[in-house]
Chains A and B, each alone.
Chain A
């Protein structure tokens, strides 16, 4: 499979990465080189093979459903580019 330039733009948008028009052609070539490489998998017979879900068999551990951490907004927000009144601040989302 290979991607056209419209697909490159769509995937960039889904990835939330801005791309310029100049970059699109360039990216198309690079993405197609990678996709051509992984297309080799099509020749493997995987009929009846279960997809891997856990590489080392183990039971997912459970813990008691109780609060065991938190109440430390200042530390959580310490790296935020913008925060207000103990919250992360973002541009207006709903008009």
Chain B
């Protein structure tokens, strides 16, 4: 049984869908195989809550629909969901102690669309607390461990973050695919660290309704998957207009899968010279060149471009995101939900509740956000950052106006690092992880991270493609070229079992 079940969990979503349609196995068998793989994977700490009974009930319903010829596009596909998506009746914490007993009585729009299309819910996946982090170490449930290890080493590495549980689960084959969220790189950086594909769609492409907010003008939902085709399938179900999110775009959702494998001949790909940052590892620089060659070989034209305000994206992000976070997280006051710590009066109750419920990084971010919005500092920080944001977006608009179809850049400045390596006294060291990803969130643009090779010590490295607003189709075509040239990356040493 172990052998045949690991064969089932090895399948991509595309292959599993085919096997289900052909009757080679049932949705129940597929779900059982994943539940059997989750069981011994406790050392990865990817799931914060597995829901096997719910999974089996949903799989059974999928089998019934398949038998009746009513299968949806994701019928019977077992997925993990990041813990910041509200799932009706299932504990949802966003990795925070302040929500440790929160059970929503509603379903996020994105997950409701996944279930509408037949997907099976396996459980909730670990994340940095309130999605604030790049390593999943700030979770109240402790860090998630990357299924990948350096050649010849047993050191535990981070899976990236904040969607680190999602990325680790997909890479370790304990979920067929996963939903993540990306505010500054939280889908793309963990995808790069785990050899998976992750896409942050255009702001407005997916509804944010029912997703626990971090920074509302930057947050977007998106999938993490094992192949470009799988990511395309998942995004099609996740995307779409929702009247409950006033920033959700009222646009039809294309069939992204048909664009995987479409020709990229004649596409103009920009290589932004400002992304060649000081101290970039030679390995990342070489990977970037290799990616440009892959696209060139497929008939694309690669040209150098300039995005002059790139270096200001990260500092501007840390003002805008933290200001919004301080406002969004004001709701955790021990009144409507969460753990309450009593005080002499209501203010002391708020202060004690929040001190006990929030972790160090969340507390720092709320305080910085409060400071930059406080009287006398608003113009110097917040207004200034929003002006810089206009300039960052203009850089991309100018490049697109010059005929650039997409931008190619590294996804991360380095491969996965060790647990505890970057959690020292200076929080800024961790923030630099987002240097290549955060510009897109600031400009609202879509970006996909796709595995492009291994580092010298055997760790996955990813490249990122950045597209025009609502140009996800083009990104899938380009990412598919890189996937076919570089090959998919699969963890062979299942050391945690």
- Which residues of chain A have a CB within 8 Å of any CB of chain B? 1, 3, 7-8, 11-19, 27, 29-31, 33-35, 37-42, 44, 46, 49-56, 58, 60-61, 63, 75, 78-82, 88, 90-93
Can you list the 5 inter-chain pairs with the closest CB atoms, starting with the nearest?
Answer: A55-B444, A51-B386, A79-B337, A81-B340, A18-B351
Min Cβ gap A27→B in Å is: 7
Q: B434: CB under 8 A from chain A?
A: no
Residues on B with C-beta less than 8 A from A91 are 342-343, 345-346, 349
Residues on B with C-beta less than 8 A from A44 are 309, 312, 384, 387-388, 391
Which of B309, B318, B330 is packed against the most chain A CB atoms within 10 Å?
B318
Residues of B372-394 at the interface with A, using a CB-CB cut-off of 8 Å, are: 372, 374, 377, 380-381, 383-391, 393
Decide yes or no: A75 and B336 within 8 Å by CB, A19-B355, A41-B384, A50-B390 being known contacts.
Answer: no
Question: Is B351 a contact partner of A13 (Cβ separation < 8 A)?
Answer: yes
Decide yes or no: A79 and B384 within 8 Å by CB, A56-B204, A58-B247 being known contacts.
Answer: no
Q: B249: CB under 8 A from chain A?
A: yes
Question: Is B384 a contact partner of A18 (Cβ separation < 8 A)?
Answer: no
Residues on B with C-beta less than 8 A from A50 are 387, 390
Which of A19, A35, A52, A90 is packed against the most chain B CB atoms within 10 Å?
A52
Q: B11: CB under 8 A from chain A?
A: no
Question: Is B351 a contact partner of A16 (Cβ separation < 8 A)?
Answer: yes
Known: A16-B333, A52-B393, A55-B444. 16 other contacts (CB 8 A): A3-B371, A11-B367, A11-B371, A15-B370, A16-B351, A35-B371, A41-B315, A51-B390, A55-B217, A55-B393, A55-B442, A58-B249, A61-B246, A63-B243, A90-B346, A92-B345
Which of A51, A54, A61 is packed against the most chain B CB atoms within 10 Å?
A51
SS class of chain A's interface: helix, strand, loop or mixed? loop
Min Cβ gap A2→B in Å is: 11
Q: B326: CB under 8 A from chain A?
A: yes
Question: Is B371 a contact partner of A31 (Cβ separation < 8 A)?
Answer: yes
Question: Is A56 a contact partner of B385 (Cβ separation < 8 A)?
Answer: no
Question: 14 A–B contact pairs at CB < 8 A?
Answer: A15-B367, A16-B347, A27-B364, A27-B367, A41-B381, A42-B380, A42-B384, A44-B387, A52-B386, A52-B393, A55-B442, A56-B469, A81-B338, A82-B340
Q: Give a binary string over B197-221; 1 marks a CB under 8 Å from any A CB, 0 the rest.
A: 0000011100000000000010000
Q: B334: CB under 8 A from chain A?
A: yes
Question: Is A55 a contact partner of B387 (Cβ separation < 8 A)?
Answer: no
Question: Is B312 a contact partner of A40 (Cβ separation < 8 A)?
Answer: yes
Closest-by-CB residue of B relative to A89 is B335
Question: Is A41 a contact partner of B319 (Cβ separation < 8 A)?
Answer: yes
Residues on B with C-beta less than 8 A from A27 are 364, 367
- Which residues of chain B have a CB within 8 Å of any CB of chain A? 101-105, 202-204, 217, 243, 246-247, 249-250, 309, 311-312, 314-316, 318-319, 326, 330, 333-340, 342-343, 345-352, 354-355, 358, 363-364, 366-368, 370-372, 374, 377, 380-381, 383-391, 393, 425-428, 431, 442-444, 469
Question: Is A31 a contact partner of B249 (Cβ separation < 8 A)?
Answer: no
Question: Is B364 a contact partner of A30 (Cβ separation < 8 A)?
Answer: yes
Question: Is A41 a contact partner of B388 (Cβ separation < 8 A)?
Answer: yes
Min Cβ gap B219→A in Å is: 11
A34 to B318 Cα, complex, angstroms: 8
A14 to B338 Cα, complex, angstroms: 20
Question: Is B203 a contact partner of A80 (Cβ separation < 8 A)?
Answer: no
Question: Is A46 a contact partner of B338 (Cβ separation < 8 A)?
Answer: no
Question: Is A58 a contact partner of B204 (Cβ separation < 8 A)?
Answer: yes
Question: Is B426 a contact partner of A38 (Cβ separation < 8 A)?
Answer: no
Residues on A with C-beta less than 8 A from B204 are 56, 58
Min Cβ gap B271→A in Å is: 23
Question: Is B383 a contact partner of A51 (Cβ separation < 8 A)?
Answer: yes
Min Cβ gap A32→B in Å is: 10
Question: Is B336 a contact partner of A79 (Cβ separation < 8 A)?
Answer: yes
Residues on A with C-beta less than 8 A from B315 are 37-41
A78 to B352 Cα, complex, angstroms: 22
